[in-house]
Amino acid sequence: MTTVVTTTAPVLEVAGVTKRFPGTLALDDVSFALRPGEVHALVGENGAGKSTLIKVLTGVYQADEGEVRHLGEPVTFKRPIEAQQAGISTIYQEVNLVPLMSIASNVFLGREPRTRAGLVDWSTMNSQARELLAGYGIHDDVRRPLHTLGVGAQQMVALARAVSTDAKVVIMDEPTSSLEPREVETLFEVLNRLHASGIAIVYVSHRMDELYRVCDSVTVLRDGRVVHSGPLAGLPRIELVSLMLGREIRQIREEGVTAFGEEHEVEKEPLLKAENLSGARRLHDVSVSIRPGEVVGLAGLLGSGRSETARAIVGAFPLDGGSVLLAGKPLKRGRIAAAVRAGIALLAEDRKADGIIPNLSVRENIVLAALPRLSPFGLIRKSKQDQIVRIFMERLRIKAASPDQKVSELSGGNQQKVLLARWLATGPKILLLDEPTRGIDVGAKAEVQALIDELAQEGLGVLLISSELEELIDGADRVVVLRDGGVVGELSGDAITEENVLAAIAAEGDNDV
């Protein structure tokens, strides 16, 4: 994007803000200024303080020290609504809308156009919503309930809603994490428009490409402190990563972008064979096999059936046809417990909804799936349990105050490690990993990638689903490409390149539905 005049006064500013939580210093003397028409990247590992800073800006938390200035005036937003009224809107990773209400109602929630009698003016509301959303690439019937849209489109609705409330500042927390490339393009167009109209944007993302494409300036947080703040252009990528990680640049160069190693020794006979999986109009004759020691990548766009395939293998997706064989033995369809017992583990995509048990401790989350094995006659053996927990907390370097800490208090990366530990504790033969590194910090990401490598070397069969091409290209021994619920290509060895994968995804298919 074009450079903007940065001499204008900041629209939103924090000065010397400190925020403490029991046991942690989340923000330590943080200062940060946002000018009109600026797209400002806010980056840092998980636990660096990004979320806390956003919550201070939006009135969810109040600073312990320091001040927040809005248009030069010190303000205290006591609750989110006050920040919203001041023109600060936030788009969260998880869409915060009402799924069962219509798309139009969601856009105008709380400020519906009224008729003279004071009733909701549906026709005006619907036509305004239709017009507004067209600018965001959404051409669906606005009277449909919101949940009938895909996650990406829902996020666009949230964005449209935010901007149409006369926002002067829009904070976006990983806006592209659930968008398809086409939707990402639309989002960038919208960003351009906002930028041109003088709206300031705080852009939180882990994706380097995006940052360099859309952001003017960057603030890097690490351990609750600002370690760098300035224009983004001219800051080499490798330096940005090293600022975030606090590691030496040289070291990163040597280690490469991902933490995957060389290819693995793979046995010939498949351990798991999923054949002709079909169901719910979202999977059509998908066949995937995984050999011991092999990392099979599943590539494809959102909605191509990647997650559905993984879920179908463990029995968590209703199938009309197809079979799953583990070591030659068929698994009963739809019996998750049986699949888990047989040694298949699914690390689900949605950590919060399908992964952690928020109010249980780290210990209890780790042993959850392995509990029956650790417990003769259903009685828990504490020493055995604690030993397992200790082993995996050490091996995966899970950062928690103690095993008794609630898992919901951990950072995203550590929560993901807890979930990996939960599955590894069951001693699985097949690991199905659905976006294992999404939304976690760079350091944890590298650790998870290295772990996947290590597990494959130990002889586990791994199915790796990832939206990040480089992760698949570096990590997988073989890549199966899905489109519209069907397999459209398979690449292995040196044929696994970015161009080939993209070509397979984008090729004109004859099995389109």
Partner 1 sequence: MSSVTLTRNRAWLQEYGVYLAVAVLVLFNVVFTENFLSAANFRTQLVQAAPVCVVALGMALVIGTEGIDLSVGSVMSVAAALIPLYLGAGPLTAVIVAVIAGLVSGLFSGFLVAHLGIQPIIATLALLVGGRGIALVIAHGQLVQLHNPDFLALGTGDVLGVPIMVLVAGVLAVLTGFLVQRTTFGRQLVAIGGNRAASTLAGLPVKRVLVGVYVISGALAAVAGILATARLGASDPNDLGLLMELSAITAVVVGGTPLTGGRVRVLGTVFGALLMQLVNATLIKHDLPASAAQMVQAAIIVAAVYVARERSSR
Distance CA 414, CA 434 (A): 16
Q: How far is the CB of 365 from partner 1 (least distance, A)?
A: 8
Q: Taking CB under 8 A as the rule, does residue 140 contact partner 1?
A: no
Paired tokens of 381: 């053996």
**Residue 361: DSSP 8-state:** B
Nearer to partner 1, 362 or 504 (CB): 362
The one among 372, 386, 390, 511 contacting partner 1 by CB under 8 A:
372
Contact (CB, 8 A) for 400 and 414: yes
Rg (CA), the chain: 24
**Residue 232: DSSP 8-state:** S
CA dihedral (151, 152, 153, 155) positive or negative: positive
Nearer to partner 1, 274 or 348 (CB): 348
399 to 438, contacts with partner 1 by CB under 8 A? Answer: 408, 422
295 to 354, contacts with partner 1 by CB under 8 A? Answer: 314, 316, 336-337, 339-341, 346, 348, 353-354
Length of the chain, in residues = 513
> At what angle are helices 151-164 and 122-134 packed, to 10 degrees?
110
Q: Taking CB under 8 A as the rule, does residue 96 contact partner 1?
A: no
Q: Taking CB under 8 A as the rule, does residue 507 contact partner 1?
A: no
> At what angle are helices 382-395 and 412-424 packed, to 10 degrees?
130
Nearer to partner 1, 230 or 358 (CB): 358
Sequence-ordered list of residues with C-beta below 8 angstroms from that of 18, at least 6 positions apart, any chain: 25, 27, 28, 29, 30, 63, 64, 65, 66
Paired tokens of 506: 């984008």
- Tokens 């990528």 locate to 237
CA dihedral (372, 373, 379, 384) positive or negative: negative
> For partner 1, how many residues bind (rule: CB under 8 A)?
31
The one among 98, 380, 503, 507 contacting partner 1 by CB under 8 A:
380
Q: How far is the CB of 423 from partner 1 (least distance, A)?
A: 8
Binding region for partner 1 (CB under 8 A) out of 136-144, 214-222, 292-300, 363-371: 363-371
The one among 184, 371, 450, 502 contacting partner 1 by CB under 8 A:
371
Contact (CB, 8 A) for 412 and 46: yes
The one among 357, 401, 495, 506 contacting partner 1 by CB under 8 A:
357
Sequence-ordered list of residues with C-beta below 8 angstroms from that of 468, at least 6 positions apart, any chain: 207, 437
Q: Taking CB under 8 A as the rule, does residue 447 contact partner 1?
A: no
Nearer to partner 1, 135 or 334 (CB): 334
Q: How far is the CB of 287 from partner 1 (least distance, A)?
A: 23
Where b means 16+ CB within 10 Å and e means fewer, 119-129 reads: eebeeebbebb
**Residue 214: DSSP 8-state:** H
Nearer to partner 1, 418 or 456 (CB): 418
Nearer to partner 1, 291 or 311 (CB): 311
Nearer to partner 1, 404 or 498 (CB): 404
Nearer to partner 1, 348 or 455 (CB): 348
Q: Taking CB under 8 A as the rule, does residue 360 contact partner 1?
A: yes
The order of strands in the sheet holding 461-465 is 344-347, 430-434, 461-465, 295-299, 478-483, 486-492
Q: Taking CB under 8 A as the rule, does residue 378 contact partner 1?
A: yes
**Mask 13-52, x = binds partner 1 (CB under 8 A)?**
---------x------------------------------
Q: Taking CB under 8 A as the rule, does residue 369 contact partner 1?
A: yes
Contact (CB, 8 A) for 347 and 419: yes
Q: Taking CB under 8 A as the rule, does residue 356 contact partner 1?
A: yes
Q: How far is the CB of 336 from partner 1 (least distance, A)?
A: 5
Q: Taking CB under 8 A as the rule, does residue 359 contact partner 1?
A: yes
- Tokens 């009685």 locate to 379
**Residue 9: DSSP 8-state:** P
Q: Taking CB under 8 A as the rule, does residue 115 contact partner 1?
A: no
Q: Taking CB under 8 A as the rule, does residue 443 contact partner 1?
A: no
Q: How far is the CB of 415 from partner 1 (least distance, A)?
A: 11
Q: How far is the CB of 411 from partner 1 (least distance, A)?
A: 16
Q: Taking CB under 8 A as the rule, does residue 355 contact partner 1?
A: yes
Q: How far is the CB of 132 from partner 1 (least distance, A)?
A: 32
Where b means 16+ CB within 10 Å and e means fewer, 326-345 reads: beeeebebeeeeebbebbbb
Quickly count: other Cβ atoms within 10 Å of residue 493's Cβ: 8
What do you get for the CA distance between the two ends of the chain, in Å?
38
Q: How far is the CB of 57 from partner 1 (least distance, A)?
A: 17
Q: Taking CB under 8 A as the rule, does residue 375 contact partner 1?
A: yes
Nearer to partner 1, 208 or 368 (CB): 368
Binding region for partner 1 (CB under 8 A) out of 29-37, 130-138, 374-382, 443-451: 374-382
Binding site for partner 1 (CB under 8 A): 22, 62, 314, 316, 336-337, 339-341, 346, 348, 353-360, 364, 367-369, 371-372, 375, 378-380, 408, 422
